[in-house]
Every structure is written in structure tokens, then in C-alpha cells.
């Protein structure tokens, strides 16, 4: 899509009001006719990043697919808070089977649509980080390697929140969870563990991989829309802060999602067929403390004697991401 040049009438902000944009370029969420695929009235916690992420992503997918979308959900918060009957929030055909099989169920739905000649119907699989990077990883990798025509969306809140905040393979180092308590010589989750599923997805050579954040609505919607233009296996990994699990204020969800990006801890990028094609530059680079401090899961790093070594190791990770994904625009900052 060609981007419209706009003038900023407000200073000190990067927010672009929709009213400044051409109708066709306004966000899906700004449109009163949006589908509200995940409707209001569900039981998510106040400030739930996953509820936002799912609504943004599925509404964008619905627009891109002319409302012909079927979703397959892994077990987890999203499934639980959206469905206690008769209060389903889903305005689209939706199935939940098990914790570890959302990608495979989606393959099955896709196969059924294909055999029935319904190529207009698009299939989305979705789950949290536990259902994606851990227990559902086998099915996910299988769906990728077969290049099945499925968009898989991972809503990553970096732990098993539904069961009470236990560590997953997406939990960052030093983070406190119920199974990585801030005790012993290396408090919280240990360094050198965990997996980078967007990169593993890229290693499958699938047509499209992207990371996104609920703090960057337009970027997120754009990536979902782009994913829907491609056929084959696609993967979008969305960072969704969890006030409960992260020990953060519900009103800080968007702020934390933005800080994760601005510190370099959560790089935003796109990749096609295994190669990075675009990364979103960091506009105000911030030290990792800014992101870590408001979260109780990192509180043990900021006690009477701050864990400067640990914070430095986290900063080094952010620096590595910035180098690797070229997150600082050299022309502007160099």
C-alpha cells in the first residue's frame, strides 16, 4: 500500500490522528464498521494485552479477508476469558480443541476449505506463548514445514498466565514467575534459556514472519493485512503485556508494550522466506531500566542494592537486538 505523506500538527508526539489520514489508510480499529470479532463483555483482566492484541489482529484479518475467517484457538487465557458459555465473545466461526494442537487443527480446517473449493475462507490459528513456543511447538513446526495456508498468531505475554504465572520458553531472563522465583544466586528466570520463535519460524523459510506490539496499532494491523495477502504458512508474534503476570498497572499495558520496543528488547521486524525485509526503527532509544522498573516481576533487580550486573546483561541483549535488526536509523542518529 502506498503511504500517504502527512504533516504533523502536534509536536512532541509520533501519534498520527486518523482524521489526518485518507479514509483508506485509517486504522481498522478507528472504523465504526469494524467487525469486533472478539466482542466486548468477555472476562479478561483489566488492561489485558492479549484481549487487545486479539481484537486488533482478528479485526484486521477480517477486513483483509472480506470477513471470511475461521479461527482455531489453543487453550489458554484467550480461550478461557472469551468463551464461558453462553457468553462467547467470538463473532466469527471459532474452535478450541486442545492446548498443543491449534496449528494442526487449523491445517485441518484449511484442508477442508480447500477440498470444498472455498479458497476465499482464510484460516487463523492463535495461542499464547505457552501454547505456541512450548506445548504447541511440534504442531506449529509441522504446519510451517508443510507450508500450510494458515496464519498463526502468538500472543506472547511471556509466561503461563492462565495457570498462575509459570515460566515458559518465552519468559525473559531475570523475570520472576511462580516457577522462577527471585531466590538464590541467579534470581528469576536464568539467562541462556528460552527460544526465539520468530527466528525459528524464519528458519522454516515460510512466506511471512513478523513481530508486532499492541502499542503500535497501525504497524500491527499493517502486518496482519500483509500476512493475509500471502498464501502458505505465516507467523505473527505479538507482545502483549499482562498486568497480572508482570506485576504492572493495568493502565500501563500500552506504555510497557511501547517501552519493550523502544529499549530494543522486543524488536519489530518482518521477514519473507527466511530473510528480514523490514525492521521498525526505534525513535526514542531508552535504557532497559525504563521498561524493567515499572514491573514487579523485575522488582528484585531494583532493591537496596540494584543488580547492576543483571541489568547490564539485559541491556546487552537489547543492544544486540538493535545491532542485529538495525533498529536505529543510522541516517538519523549516525
Residue 109 Cβ vs other proteins, minimum distance, rounded to whole Å: 4
Total number of residues that touch other proteins (CB under 8 A): 43
- Rule CB under 8 A: say whether 88 interacts with other proteins: yes
Residue 264 Cβ vs other proteins, minimum distance, rounded to whole Å: 34
* Cα four-point dihedral sign 91, 129, 164, 316: negative
- Rule CB under 8 A: say whether 85 interacts with other proteins: yes
> Judging by DSSP bridges, how do beta strands 234-239 and 69-73 pair with one another?
unpaired
Residue 29 Cβ vs other proteins, minimum distance, rounded to whole Å: 20
End-to-end Cα, the chain, rounded Å: 29
The residue among 107 and 321 lying less far from other proteins, judged by its C-beta, is 107
Reference 162, options 74, 249, 248; nearest CA is 74
**Residues 17, 31, 138, 323: which binds other proteins (CB under 8 A)?**
138
Stretch that binds other proteins, among 76-84, 229-237, 277-285, 308-316 (CB under 8 A): 76-84
Write out the DSSP string of 235-287: EEEEE---HHHHT--GGGHHHHHHHHHHTTSS--EEEETTEEEEEPPPSS---
The residue among 27 and 35 lying less far from other proteins, judged by its C-beta, is 35
Contact at 8 Å (CB) between 152 and 143?
Answer: yes
Contact at 8 Å (CB) between 136 and 124?
Answer: no
Interaction mask 94-123, other proteins, x per CB under 8 A: xxxxx-xx--xxxxxxxxxxxxx----x--
Q: Environment class of residue 104 by beta-carbon count within 10 Å: exposed (0-12), middle (13-18) or buried (19+)?
A: buried
Contact at 8 Å (CB) between 259 and 290?
Answer: yes
- Rule CB under 8 A: say whether 142 interacts with other proteins: yes
The residue among 110 and 265 lying less far from other proteins, judged by its C-beta, is 110
For other proteins, the binding residues (CB under 8 A) are 67-70, 72-73, 79-80, 83-85, 88, 90-98, 100-101, 104-116, 121, 138-139, 141-142, 145-146
Amino acid at each position: 500500500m502506498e503511504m500517504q505523506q502527512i504533516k504533523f500538527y502536534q509536536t512532541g508526539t509520533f501519534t498520527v490522528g486518523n482524521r489526518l489520514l485518507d479514509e483508506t489508510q485509517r486504522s481498522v480499529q478507528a472504523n465504526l464498521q469494524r467487525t469486533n470479532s472478539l466482542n466486548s463483555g468477555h472476562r479478561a483482566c483489566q488492561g489485558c494485552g492479549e484481549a487487545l492484541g486479539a481484537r486488533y489482529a482478528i479485526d484486521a484479518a477480517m477486513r483483509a479477508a472480506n470477513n471470511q475467517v475461521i479461527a482455531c484457538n489453543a487453550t489458554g487465557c484467550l480461550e478461557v476469558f472469551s468463551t464461558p458459555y453462553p457468553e462467547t465473545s467470538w463473532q466469527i466461526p471459532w474452535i478450541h480443541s486442545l492446548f498443543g494442537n491449534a496449528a494442526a487443527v487449523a491445517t485441518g480446517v484449511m484442508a477442508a476449505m480447500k477440498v470444498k473449493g472455498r479458497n476465499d475462507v482464510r484460516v487463523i490459528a492463535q495461542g499464547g506463548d505457552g501454547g505456541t513456543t512450548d506445548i504447541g511447538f511440534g504442531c506449529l513446526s509441522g504446519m510451517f514445514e508443510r507450508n500450510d495456508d494458515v496464519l498463526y498468531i502468538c500472543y506472547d505475554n511471556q509466561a503461563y498466565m492462565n495457570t498462575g504465572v509459570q515460566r515458559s520458553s518465552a519468559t525473559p531472563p531475570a523475570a520472576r514467575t511462580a516457577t522462577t522465583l527471585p531466590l538464590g544466586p541467579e534470581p528469576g528466570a536464568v539467562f541462556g534459556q528460552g527460544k526465539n520463535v520468530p527466528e525459528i519460524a524464519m528458519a522454516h523459510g515460510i512466506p511471512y514472519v513478523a513481530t508486532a506490539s499492541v502499542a503500535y496499532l497501525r504497524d500491527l494491523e499493517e502486518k496482519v493485512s500483509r500476512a493475509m495477502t500471502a498464501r502458505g504458512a505465516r507467523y505473527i508474534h505479538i507482545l502483549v503485556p499482562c498486568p497480572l503476570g508482570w506485576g504492572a498497572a493495568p493502565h500501563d499495558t500500552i506504555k510497557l508494550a511501547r517501552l519493550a520496543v523502544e529499549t530494543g528488547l522486543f524488536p519489530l521486524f518482518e521477514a519473507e522466506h527466511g530473510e528480514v525485509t523490514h525492521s521498525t526503527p526505534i525513535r526514542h532509544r531508552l535504557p532497559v531500566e525504563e521498561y524493567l522498573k515499572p514491573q514487579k516481576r523485575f522488582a528484585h533487580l531494583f532493591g537496596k542494592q540494584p543488580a547492576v550486573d543483571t541489568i547490564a546483561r539485559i541491556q546487552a541483549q537489547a543492544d544486540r537486538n538493535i545491532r542485529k535488526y538495525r533498529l536505529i536509523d543510522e541516517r538519523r542518529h549516525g
